[in-house]
């Protein structure tokens, strides 16, 4: 199956700083990637849809100026959490769909644990 990687797997940062998370599709091209956030014992909440070569589509309630998404190539999307605060501490997961398979199965990255102190 398709493989999606994320980097870093975990990060600790100080309040007010910015953190960049990378999401890569390793063996397929992904014109669309998705960014999710998951708080402990909660469901995956879609934050935004990342489109290669165009602006991301954000879900209602997600601040686009705080969560900057860049999808510069068919295999890489980045999420930058700007001016991070402790309430941004969460598990961030990206995913991509290999539309070439026609199943619309989402392949998830291993996730990034962000802790803001």
Partner 1 sequence: GQNIDQPTEMTATEGAIVQINCTYQTSGFNGLFWYQQHAGEAPTFLSYNVLDGLEEKGRFSSFLSRSKGYSYLLLKELQMKDSASYLCAVSSGGSYIPTFGRGTSLIVHP
For partner 1, the closer of residues 58 and 91 by Cβ is 91
Estimate to the nearest angstrom the gap between the alpha carbon of 2 and the chain centroid: 17
User: 40 Cβ partners below 8 Å, 6+ apart?
Assistant: none
Torsion (CA) 48, 70, 32, 45 in degrees, nearest 10: -20
For partner 1, the closer of residues 82 and 91 by Cβ is 91
Positions 96 through 115 that interact with partner 1 (CB under 8 A): 97, 103-111, 113
x/- track of binding to partner 1 for residues 20-59 (CB under 8 A): --------------x------xxxxxx--x----------
């Amino acid at each position: 199956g398709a493989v999606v990687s994320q980097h870093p797997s975990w990060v600790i940062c100080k309040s007010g700083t910015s953190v960049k998370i990378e999401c890569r599709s390793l063996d397929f091209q992904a014109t669309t990637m998705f960014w999710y956030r998951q708080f402990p014992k909660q469901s995956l909440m879609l934050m935004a849809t990342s489109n290669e070569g165009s602006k991301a589509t954000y879900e209602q309630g997600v601040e686009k100026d705080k969560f900057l998404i860049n999808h510069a190539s068919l295999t890489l999307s980045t999420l930058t959490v700007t001016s991070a605060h402790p309430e941004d501490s969460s598990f961030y997961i990206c995913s991509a769909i290999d539309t070439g398979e026609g199943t619309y199965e989402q392949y998830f990255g291993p996730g990034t644990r962000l802790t803001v102190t």
